[in-house]
Amino acid sequence: MKFLSDPLITFLVVGAILLAAGKYWQPDADSFRIDITPAEVGRLADQWQVQMQRPPAAEEMIGLVDAFIREEIYYREAKRLGLDADDTIVRRRLVQKLTFLTEDIATTTPPDDTTLEAWYREHQELYTQPVRLSFTHRYFSVDRRPDAKKDAEQALVDNSIGDDPFMLQKSYAQRSTREIGDLFGRAFATEITALSSPGWQGPIRSAYGWHLVRIEERLSAALTPFALVRERVLADFQMEARKVANSAYYDNLKSQYTIVRSD
Q: For position 137, which CATH number holds?
A: 3.10.50.40
pLDDT value for 24: 46
Q: Is residue 249 part of a domain?
A: yes
How far is it, in rounded angstroms, from Cα 194 to Cα 189?
9
* Position 1 in a domain: no
d(CA 225, CA 128): 9
Sign of CA dihedral 47, 52, 54, 56: negative
Q: Which pLDDT tens digit goes with each residue over 173-213?
A: 999 999 999 999 999 999 999 888 788 998 999 989 999 99
Q: Are residues 107 and 234 in the same domain?
A: yes
pLDDT category of residue 11 using cuts at 50, 70 and 90: very low
Residue 108's pLDDT is: 76
% of the chain exceeding 70 in pLDDT: 88
182 and 54 fall within a common domain: no
pLDDT higher than 60, residue 5: no
Domain match, 212 and 240 both = no
Same domain, 187 and 215: yes
Stronger pLDDT, 105 or 22, i.e. the higher one: 105
Question: Do 16 and 50 fall within a single domain?
Answer: yes
Domain boundary pick from 59, 85, 111: 85
Supply the angle between the helices 186-194 and 177-184 in degrees, to the nearest 10.
130
Domain-ending residue, one of 220, 238, 254: 220
Query: Both 207 and 164 in a single domain?
Result: yes
Cβ atoms of 237 and 252 within 8 Å: the answer is no
**Residue 166 falls within a domain, yes or no?**
yes
Secondary structure in 3-state letters for the chain: CHHHHCHHHHHHHHHHHHHHHHHHCCCCHHHHCCCCCHHHHHHHHHHHHHHHCCCCCHHHHHHHHHHHHHHHHHHHHHHHCCCCCCCHHHHHHHHHHHHHHHHHHHCCCCCCHHHHHHHHHHCHHHHEECCEEEEEEEEEECCCCCCHHHHHHHHCCCCCCCCCCCCCCCEEEEEEHHHHHHHHCHHHHHHHHHCCCCCEEEEEECCCEEEEEEEEEEECCEECCHHHHHHHHHHHHHHHHHHHHHHHHHHHHHCCCCCCCCC
For the segment 118-176, what is each residue's pLDDT rounded down to a tens digit?
999 999 999 998 999 999 999 999 988 999 999 999 999 888 888 999 988 999 999 99
Asked whether residue 2 is assigned to any structural domain, the reply reads no
Round to the nearest angstrom and report the end-to-end CA distance of the chain. 61
pLDDT at residue 12 greater than cutoff 70: no
Going by C-alpha positions, the residue among 198, 199, 200, 179 that lies closest to residue 188 is 179
Write phi, then psi, for 163 (nearest 5 degrees). Answer: -100, -175
Q: Report if residue 3 sits inside a domain.
A: no
State whether 210 and 157 are in the same domain: yes
Same domain membership, residue 114 and residue 49: no
- CA pair distance 186, 235, nearest whole angstrom: 30
Verify cis geometry, omega within 30 degrees of 0, for the bond prior to 203: yes
Number of domains into which the chain is organized: 3
Distance CA 110, CA 4 (A): 77
For the question of whether the overall pTM of this predicted structure is more than 0.85, the answer is: no
Assigned domain for 5 exists: no
Residue 75 sits in the same domain as residue 103 = no
Q: Which range of residues forms the domain containing residue 251?
A: 86-128+229-263
Residue 31 lies in a domain: yes
Task: Answer whether residue 6 is part of any domain.
Answer: no
Say what the alpha-carbon torsion angle 85, 88, 93, 99 is, to the nearest 10 degrees: 100
Residue 108 and residue 235 in one domain: yes
Residues 136 and 216 in one domain: yes
Q: Both 37 and 159 in a single domain? A: no
Rg from Cα positions in the chain: 36
